Amino acid sequence: MTLFTKIFSAAFFVISLAGCQSNETSNAAQNTSDSTLTQQKEVKKPVEDSATYYAKLLSIANGDTNGYWPIKNNPQPLKGAILPYNRIVAYYGNLYSKKMGILGEFPPAEVWRRLNEEVKAWEKADSLTPVVPAIHYIAVVAQGSAGKDGKYRTRMPEKQIDSALTIAKMGNAIVFLDVQIALSDFESEIPLLEKYLKMPNVHLGIDPEFAMHDGVAPGRKIGSIDAKDINYCSQYLAQLVKDNNLPPKILIVHRFTQGMVKKYSEVELCPEVQIVINMDGWGEPVLKFSTYKLYIYREPVQFTGFKLFYKNDLKKAPNRMLTPEELLKLKPNPIYIQYQ
């Protein structure tokens, strides 16, 4: 990263800190004036009907009586928010690899035939929640070799990212660009995707599994991030929304162990960004349900997701994938579904 980029990233982080609020911060804090922001554009106010929004939050909490869901101090989003009014059903992967997800396994037409089948299944299971299809593309890939800069990650060329956007356009889908930082950091990787993240239909995903520390190469152990990493990404997206008059962005955070996401209660929320903690573990149904309960249900952030694996979920008895009907029994209902 150049000296200019370092200076820009540091300055951006300081300026954007005022844009979001902590789960534990009162809504009144949003109205606190800050003289350092006088030169910024006026912050857009939430305009969606609040009664409808909070009724939907209560609905997806699915009768939880333990006080976890719906979360407290969930900021009402700006106009144009996808969640929680819709459910997102995404296909995940990388176009260079058949082993990283379904996106690389089949040609685009077949990808869309299969994805449309999943969309219809979710629409049938929950007719009250429209489904938005998505292409979730790994744009920064952790790798086994250090590379020239020793960061153990490869940035996908723009022509490949453009191909993912073209595939999404075939089905009027939104796009997620996923980042596996390995030994790099989000401050170095996220700004390089800015031209895409400025697009109204492009959102962000981050993968703690491959966020490594102390020089350990990815794949040797499960990595981790904490609230400050999530807050940086959220604040970066929030600033793009403000500066470019965009609808709210969505930030997907993958998780399947407690250690992958530290200090969850310090994650900051704001109207410009909607955060989904995505249950990313594979295995038999009982294991997946247990993981969801322990690390997604009991450590609430904002919204939840659930990942399904076409191959890995079949490895152990009863050798089948979970159905939409089964997932809709969860508390809370996952509002983002990812297939790999």
Can you give the pLDDT at residue 48?
A: 63
Determine, yes or no, domain membership for 286.
yes
- What's 121's domain CATH number? 3.20.20
When divided into structural domains, the chain yields a total of: 1
Q: What is the mean pLDDT of the chain?
A: 88
Determine, yes or no, domain membership for 262.
yes
Determine, yes or no, domain membership for 31.
no
3 pLDDT higher than 60: no
Q: What is the pLDDT of residues 230-289, one digit of tens each?
A: 999 999 999 999 999 999 999 999 999 999 999 999 999 999 999 999 999 999 999 999
Determine, yes or no, domain membership for 276.
yes
13 pLDDT higher than 80: no
Determine, yes or no, domain membership for 293.
yes
Can you give the pLDDT at residue 1?
A: 38
Give 79's pLDDT tier (boundaries 50, 70, 90): very high
Determine, yes or no, domain membership for 311.
yes
Can you give the pLDDT at residue 33?
A: 32
Can you give the pLDDT at residue 318?
A: 96
Can you give the pLDDT at residue 20?
A: 55
Determine, yes or no, domain membership for 36.
no
Give 100's pLDDT tier (boundaries 50, 70, 90): confident
Angstrom distance (rounded) from CA 80 to CA 116 = 23
More confident residue, 3 or 329: 329
Give 214's pLDDT tier (boundaries 50, 70, 90): confident
Give 97's pLDDT tier (boundaries 50, 70, 90): confident
Can you give the pLDDT at residue 125?
A: 98
Q: What is the pLDDT of residues 166-195, one digit of tens each?
A: 999 999 999 999 999 999 999 999 999 999
Q: What is the pLDDT of residues 17-75, one digit of tens each?
A: 334 544 443 333 333 333 332 233 344 555 568 899 999 999 999 999 999 999 998 99
Range of the domain at 115: 46-339
Q: What is the pLDDT of residues 128-158, one digit of tens each?
A: 999 999 999 999 999 999 999 999 999 999 9
Determine, yes or no, domain membership for 34.
no
